[in-house]
Amino acid sequence: MVVTRFAPSPTGYLHIGGLRTALYNYLWARHSKGQFRLRIEDTDTQRNNEGAMKAILEAFEWVGLTYDGEVEYQSKRLDIYKKYIKQLVDEGKAYNCYMSKEELDSLRETQMANKQTPRYDETWRPEEGKTLPPIPEGVEPVVRIKTPKEGTVTFFDGVRSMMNVDCSEIDDFVIARSNGMPTYNFVVTVDDALMGMTHVIRGDDHLTNTSKQILIYEALGFAVPKFYHVPMINNPQGKKLSKRDGALDVMDYKRKGFLPEALLNFLVRLGWSNKDQEIFSMEEMLELFDPSNINKSASSYNEEKLLWLNAHYIKNVSNERLAKELEFFDCFISGHDKKEILLDLCKERAQTLIELKESINKILERPTSYEEKGVKKFIKEDTSKTLELYFSVLEEVKDSLHLACDYEVVTKPFFEKYELKFPQLFQPIRLALTGGTQAPSVYDIMVILGFDEAKKRIFAAIEKNFNKEA
C-alpha cells in the first residue's frame, strides 16, 4: 500500500511551495488507494510558532486536503528517537563526540584557510587500535553516526533518475545535539520508517539530505522508501520566489479572494502536466497524477495564470457557493431576491472574490460620487431631459418590468423615436446607477434594483451632477 506524508515545520506559515508538496503527496496516495499522513515537525522548540501550527491545519481544511489518522507531532515522540539513538551507540554505529563548539569552529576556519571543504575530523570516532582523547569535564557530547569511509550511496530518484553520492563526501554527521535533542535528518528517517512511508515526495532542497537519511535507514535496518525531489518554484525571472512574487501564506490567497480549487489547479501544473491540459478538477487530478511525470526543471510562478484560473472557477461554481464564499468578505446576498441575476451578471468580469464583491457593491450601494471622466464625456446639455423622458416612458409600464427583455422592448422604440445612439442613454444611466461607466448591462442593473430604486438614483444624479449648475 502506498503511504505518503506532508511534514511541515511550524516555524512559519504554510506557503504555496509547501502546499504544492502536500498536494502531490495527497494525490498519489489517493490515486493509489493508499494513505496520506500529516506530521508536524516541531522539535525546534525555540522557533516553533503556535499560530503557524494552527494555520497549517486551517490551510488544509480550506483547500480540502484530508489526511488519514491523527496528526503526528514529533515533540511527542522524543522517547522513540532517544531509543534508536541509544541503539546505534550500543551497536557501535554511532558515538559520543566531545568536541566543543569552539574547537569545531577553529577546525572549520583552518580548513577553509587551507581551501579544504569544512568537515568533522573524526577526533572522537572510535576505531580499532585508536586511542581516544580524555573526556573533557563540563562538555555534553553530541552523537555522531559512523558513516562508511568507502563506497557509494546510490538511490533512484523518481524525478532525476539514478543518484550516486560518494561516501567520502559525507562526514560523521550529528544525529543528536548536546542537549539530547535529535537532529532533523534522524527524526525524519525514524518517523518515515515507523509510519510506513513508501514514497517521499518533497522539494529538491532536501536532495542533499537524502544520502544521509539513507545511511540512517541502513544503520537501523529500515526499508528505504522511494524518493521524488520536486524542483522549486521560481519567480518569473527565474530566481527564488519571494513574498512579492507570490510566496505567501496559503491563507493569504483566501484573503485575496481566490477559490481553493483555483489554487490547487494552479499548483498541480507548477511542476506536473498532462499534455496541454490546463484546467483540472480534483477528480481529474486524482485520476491522472503520477509523480513519475513531475517535471525535471523548475517552474515559474505566473500570477496571470492564477487569476485566469480563478476567474474560470468563479464563473463555474454554483451561485449558492459564491454567495457563501462572499460572506467571508462581509458581502451578504444569500437573501437577496435577485441573487441569481446579480451573481450571473457580476461573476463574468470578476477574477477574484474581492472583485466580485466590489462589482456587486457598485450595483447594490447607492453611489456617493460619479466618475469625473465619464461625466465630462457623456453628460451633455440635453442628457437630463433625455433621462427624464426615458423614465417617464418606463413609468407607464413599470408593473410589467421584471426581466431585462422587458426593459429592452420598451427601450428600442425610444431610441428610434429620439434618434439616439446607445452610449447617449446607457452611459449616463450607468453613471447614475453605479457611479461609473464600466458597469454591466443597464437592463440587468435596473432589473436587480427595481424600477423605483433606479428612478431615485437617476434623479439624484441629475440633481447633483447632471444639470448645468453641477
* Whether the Cβ atoms of residue 125 and residue 172 lie closer than 8 Å to each other: yes
**Helix, strand, coil distribution of the chain in percent, nearest 5:** 50, 10, 40
Pick from 94, 325, 52, 338: which is nearest to 216 by CA? 94
Amino acid at 107: L
Q: CA of 150: how far to CAs of 91, 166, 167, 169, 210, in Å?
A: 20, 8, 6, 10, 18
Per-residue buried b or exposed e for 150-168, using 16+ beta carbons within 10 Å of the residue's own CB: eeebebebbbeeebebeee
The phi-psi region of residue 353 (left if phi > 0; otherwise alpha if psi is between -120 and 50; otherwise beta) is alpha
Please count the residues of the chain: 470
Q: CA of 140: how far to CAs of 75, 134, 137, 464, in Å?
A: 21, 14, 9, 81
Task: Write phi, then psi, for 134 (nearest 5 degrees).
Answer: -60, 140
Catalytic choice (86, 149, 243, 412) = 243
- CA separation for the pair 106, 110 (Å, rounded): 6
DSSP letter assigned to residue 256: T
- E-assigned strand segments in 282-386: 299-300
The answer to whether the annotation marks 305 as part of a ligand binding site is no
* Whether the Cβ atoms of residue 468 and residue 381 lie closer than 8 Å to each other: yes
How far does Cα 372 stand from its chain's mean position? 39
Pick from 122, 172, 125: which is nearest to 148 by CA? 172
* Whether the Cβ atoms of residue 243 and residue 42 lie closer than 8 Å to each other: no
* Whether the Cβ atoms of residue 88 and residue 94 lie closer than 8 Å to each other: yes
- CA separation for the pair 118, 104 (Å, rounded): 10
Give the other-Cβ count within 10 Å of 281's Cβ.
13
Q: Is 130 a catalytic residue?
A: no
* Whether the Cβ atoms of residue 21 and residue 6 lie closer than 8 Å to each other: yes
Q: At what angle do helices 442-449 and 422-434 cross, to 10 degrees?
A: 40
- Cα angle 431, 450, 441; round to 5: 45
- CA separation for the pair 95, 166 (Å, rounded): 22
| Grid coordinates belonging to 236 | 518569473
Binding residues: 243
Binding residues for ATP: 243
Active site residues: 243
